[in-house]
């Protein structure tokens, strides 16, 4: 476990901005600012939200050439990383020997740095992840943690115009979705990716910790930019149908059950060669036993994590893994796992809330349409 | 003259002529954040002091509201059911939750008055 209540480089700024701070994954993090979760969520959907995600783990894996480093990571993850082009990014999972998810992460191949892959992993899992990677490192491949780098996400429909204003000549507004590169923004050296976890267009910006606060202040001084806490980050990702480790994902769940098969490219499906390949290839062939689905309650009452999902005849068929209120949906939303026979869109189900069954339906994810940049 | 009393769970009860109007305090609504759902007790239900009576939910979490006095539910605030956000706007006024017929007015003496509740809040800061 991580030491309790570590601070990110933006901690003092959060406090100054009136954030309600709370422990999260070993860090003292802003849950919300003065305007509250609802307003912060809606602001991100219509303007720009600034999120401190410096608690996440950033690292570099380096070796002689791309094939060496990519092959190594392919021995732990099911994505096609050999095929990852310079400057591009992929979402994948670290797997255990039975194909369960140790963590989900972003892998970037920086252009102009042969034999390097950048990783961004979950805060709550970074020690487990890095220990696992280090244990498997072959001769000539090394893992370097980047604890002196902060990570700031800028998300929302005005993120591109906001960043472009601060980085004239860098053409950040035409960067492809899931691409990444070094860029000078407001005079600071940064490493920027066009990605995020809100369902909106936006960026994640890695910057030296010592410069993070000055940089964040410049971003916050821009019109339309507001600081957003972890409360709204959670409701945004839930509306976007995105998994959160420890909720939708854990070491017992594989990427097929969790409806992440899109993140396993064709060559890997055929060739295997990742931990738990047999289980995952089997699930791809015949379908998983249980499946992650979107759940839309018919009424107004939210169903929270842990709520049992029961069939119309009262048998338990699954469980809610994330549930709450979707501010943009303006109603309750949830995700959970159900037995495959109940996973079809439109299936009526019941959610047990305070001992009473509430009617709901299996629905398509996301709840709120993604607005990623398409060039 | 109506008098208002407070519980340590941050409910208030405004008492007049043997009836009480119950809601959550301004402190409670601030702690909870934006209220997006409220579930009310059935009218006619008899509750004992401290029983869970209603549920108020924010984007993040659900909180039980315990009745600060025993009695029978006489009415619930339908405006809060349709527009739960009024709890944030006016917790002690339009954001009331339910009206209860007091079974034992003597129970109220165990609750805090305005000044005692203000002191209690200071201990939480």
Alpha carbons B110 and B19: distance in angstroms, whole number:
17
Same domain, A191 and A307: no
How many Cβ atoms from other residues are within 10 Å of residue B112's Cβ? Answer: 18
In a domain, A279, yes or no: no
A185-207 confidence digits (pLDDT tens): 999 999 999 999 999 999 999 99
> What is the number of structural domains in chain B?
1
CA B120 vs CA A293, A363, B60: distances in Å: 45, 46, 26
Contact residues on chain B for A302, CB-CB shorter than 8 A: 36-37, 57, 62
Omega into B35 within 30° of 0, i.e. cis? no
Q: Which of A239, A264, A279 is the last residue of a domain?
A: A239
Q: What is the CATH number of the domain that holds A216?
A: 3.30.1360.120
In a domain, A235, yes or no: yes
Give the DSSP H/E element, type plus range, for residue B4.
strand B3-6
CA B76 vs CA A239, B79, B100: distances in Å: 32, 9, 9
User: Across-strand partners of A95?
Assistant: A101
Q: What is the CATH number of the domain that holds A317?
A: 2.40.30.110
b vs e for A105-125, b when ≥16 Cβ sit within 10 Å of the residue's Cβ?
bbbbbbeeeebbbbbbbbbbb
End-to-end CA distance of chain B: 32
In a domain, A300, yes or no: yes
Alpha carbons A72 and A133: distance in angstroms, whole number:
9
In a domain, A160, yes or no: yes
pLDDT of residue B71: 97
Stretch 70-99 of chain A: residues touching chain B, C-beta under 8 Å: none
Tell me how many degrees the CA angle B67-A353-A309 measures, rounded to the nearest 5.
170
In a domain, A139, yes or no: no
A37 touches chain B (CB under 8 A): yes
Task: Please give the residue range of the domain that contains residue B33.
Answer: 3-124
Q: Residues in chain B, how many?
A: 125
pLDDT above 90 (res B2): no
Are B91 and B28 in contact by the 8 Å Cβ rule? The answer is yes
**B40: nearest CA in chain A?**
A301
Pair of tokens at residue A151: 């990570």
Arithmetic mean of pLDDT, A130-153: 97
B61 touches chain A (CB under 8 A): yes
Contact residues on chain A for B39, CB-CB shorter than 8 A: 301, 354
A317-374 confidence digits (pLDDT tens): 999 999 999 999 999 999 999 999 999 999 999 999 999 999 999 999 999 999 999 9
Contact residues on chain B for A36, CB-CB shorter than 8 A: 33-34
Same domain, A45 and A152: yes
Question: pLDDT class for A17, splitting at 50, 70, 90?
Answer: very high
Q: What is the CATH number of the domain that holds B59?
A: 2.40.50.100
Pair of tokens at residue A91: 């979402």
Arithmetic mean of pLDDT, A49-74: 98
In a domain, A38, yes or no: yes
DSSP 8-state secondary structure symbol assigned to residue A331: E
Task: Please give the residue range of the domain that contains residue A346.
Answer: 289-375
In a domain, A69, yes or no: no
CA A16 vs CA A13, A19, B32: distances in Å: 5, 7, 21
Same domain, A216 and A365: no
Q: Do A37 and B58 touch (CB under 8 A)?
A: yes
Q: What mean pLDDT, rounded, does chain A reach?
A: 97
pLDDT of residue A2: 46
pLDDT above 80 (res A32): yes
């Amino acid at each position: 476990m991580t030491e309790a209540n570590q601070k990110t480089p933006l901690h003092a700024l959060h406090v100054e901005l009136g954030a309600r701070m709370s422990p999260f994954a070993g860090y003292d993090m802003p849950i919300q600012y003065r305007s509250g979760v609802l307003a912060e969520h809606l602001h991100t959907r219509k303007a720009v939200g600034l999120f401190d995600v410096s608690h996440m783990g950033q690292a570099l894996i380096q070796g002689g050439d791309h094939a060496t480093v990519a092959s190594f990571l392919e021995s732990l993850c099911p994505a096609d990383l050999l095929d990852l082009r310079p400057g591009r990014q992929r979402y994948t999972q670290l797997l255990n020997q039975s194909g369960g998810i140790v963590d989900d992460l972003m892998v970037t191949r920086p252009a102009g740095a042969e034999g390097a892959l950048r990783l961004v992993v979950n805060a709550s899992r970074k020690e487990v992840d890095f220990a696992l990677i280090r244990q498997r490192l072959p001769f000539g491949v090394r893992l370097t943690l980047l604890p002196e780098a902060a990570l700031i996400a800028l998300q929302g429909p005005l993120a591109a115009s906001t960043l472009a204003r601060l980085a004239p000549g860098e053409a950040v507004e035409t960067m492809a979705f899931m691409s990444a590169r070094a860029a000078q923004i407001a005079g600071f050296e940064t490493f920027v990716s066009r990605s995020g976890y809100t369902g909106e267009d936006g960026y994640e910006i890695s910057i030296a910790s010592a410069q993070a606060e000055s940089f964040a202040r410049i971003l916050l001084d821009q019109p339309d930019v507001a600081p957003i806490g972890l409360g709204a980050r959670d409701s945004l990702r839930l509306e976007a149908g995105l998994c959160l480790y420890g909720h939708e994902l854990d070491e017992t769940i594989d990427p097929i059950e969790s409806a992440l098969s899109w993140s396993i490219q064709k060559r890997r499906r055929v060739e295997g060669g990742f931990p738990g390949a047999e289980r995952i290839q089997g699930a791809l062939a015949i379908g998983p036993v249980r499946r992650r689905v979107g759940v839309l309650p018919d009424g107004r009452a939210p169903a929270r994590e842990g709520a049992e999902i029961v069939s119309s005849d009262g048998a338990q068929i699954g469980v809610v893994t994330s549930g709450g209120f979707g501010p943009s949906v303006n109603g309750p939303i949830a995700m959970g796992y159900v037995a495959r026979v109940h996973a079809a869109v439109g299936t009526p189900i019941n959610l047990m809330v305070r001992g009473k069954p509430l009617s709901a339906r299996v629905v398509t994810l996301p709840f709120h349409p993604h607005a990623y940049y398409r060039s | 003259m109506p008098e208002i009393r407070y519980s340590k769970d941050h409910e208030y009860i405004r008492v007049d002529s043997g009836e009480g109007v119950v809601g959550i305090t301004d402190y409670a609504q601030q702690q909870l954040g934006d209220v997006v759902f409220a579930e009310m007790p059935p009218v006619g239900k008899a509750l004992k002091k401290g029983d869970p009576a209603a549920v108020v939910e924010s984007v993040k979490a659900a909180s039980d509201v315990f009745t600060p006095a025993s009695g029978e539910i006489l009415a619930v605030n339908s405006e809060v059911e349709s527009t739960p956000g009024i709890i944030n706007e006016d917790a002690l006024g339009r954001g009331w939750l339910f009206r209860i017929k007091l079974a034992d007015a003597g129970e109220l003496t165990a609750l805090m008055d305005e000044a005692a509740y203000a002191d209690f809040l200071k201990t939480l800061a």
